[in-house]
Structure 1
Amino acid sequence: MSNAASIFGGRFAGKVMVVTGAAQGIGRGVALRAAAEGGRVLLADRADFVHAVATEADGEAVAFVCDLEKYDGAAAMVAEAVRRFGRIDILINNVGGAIRMRPFAEFAPEQIDAEIRRSLMPTLYACHAVLPVMQAQGGGTIVNVSSNATRGIHRVPYSAAKGGVNALTQSLAMEYAESLIRVVATAPGGTEAPARRIPRNPDGDDAREQGWMRDVVEQVTQSSFQKRYGNLDEQIAPILFLASDEASYITGSILPVAGGDLG
Structure 2
Amino acid sequence: MLRFEGKVALVTAGAQGIGEAVARRIAAEGGSVVVTDLQEDRIKALAAELGDALAVRLDVTVRDEVDAAVAAAVERFGRLDVLVNNAGGCIVSTVPEDTSDSEWHRQLDLTLVGAARCIQASLPHLVQTRGNVVTISSVNGLAAFGNLEYAAAKAGQIAMTQNFAARYGGMGVRFNVVAPGTINTPNWDNQPDTLEKFKALYPLGRVGRPEDIAAAVAFLASDDASWITGHTLPVEGGVLTGPGLLDLTPTGPFRKDY
The one-letter amino acid of 1:36's match is A
Is residue 67 from structure 1 mapped to residue 67 from structure 2 by the alignment?
Answer: no
Question: Matches of 1:257 and 1:141 in 2, distance apart?
Answer: 19
Structure 1: segments with no counterpart, 5+ residues: 1-7, 200-209
Residues 195 and 163 of structure 1, relative CA distance in 2, 3 Å threshold = closer
Q: What residue ranges of structure 2 are gaps of 5+ in the alignment?
A: 242-258
Q: TM-score normalised to the size of structure 1?
A: 0.83
* Corresponding position of 1:248: 226
2:79–2:129 Cα contact (<8 Å) kept: no
Counterpart of 1:258 in structure 2: which amino acid?
A: E
Q: Does structure 1 conserve the Cα–Cα contact (< 8 Å) formed by 2:11 and 2:19?
A: yes
Q: Residue 258 in 1 paired to residue 236 in 2?
A: yes
2:179 alignment partner in structure 1? 187
Q: Give the Å deviation of 1:111.
A: 2.1
- Residues in 2 aligned to 1:221 and 1:118: alpha-carbon distance in whole angstroms: 29
Q: 2:256 aligns to what?
A: none
Question: How far is 1:227 from its partner?
Answer: 4.6
- Which residue does the alignment assign to 1:117? 109
Greater CA deviation, 224-233 or 117-126? 224-233
Count of residues paired in the alignment: 238
Match of 1:146 among 112, 131, 137: 137
Is the counterpart of residue 18 in structure 1 residue 10 in structure 2? Answer: yes
Which residue is 1:230 aligned to? 208
* Letter matched to residue 245 of structure 1: D
Deviation at 1:110, TM superposition (A): 2.3
CA displacement at 1:121 relative to structure 2: 1.7
Please report the RMSD computed on the Cα atoms of aligned residues, expressed in angstroms: 2.4
Distance (Å, rounded) in 2 between the aligned partners of 1:111 and 1:27: 25
The one-letter code sitting in structure 1 at the alignment partner of 2:66 is: A
For 1:32-181, list aligned pairs within 5 A.
Answer: 32-49=24-41, 50-57=43-50, 59-135=51-127, 137-150=128-141, 151-181=143-173
Separation of aligned partners in 1, 2:103 and 2:199: 26
Identity of aligned residues (%): 38
The one-letter code matched in structure 2 to 1:140 is G
Aligned to 2:251: none
Shift of 1:190: 0.4
Name the aligned partner's letter for residue 229 of structure 2: T
Distance 1:103 1:39 in 2: 43
Distance 2:20 2:129 in 1: 28
- What SS does the corresponding residue of 2:186 show, helix, strand or coil? coil
Distance 2:99 2:196 in 1: 19
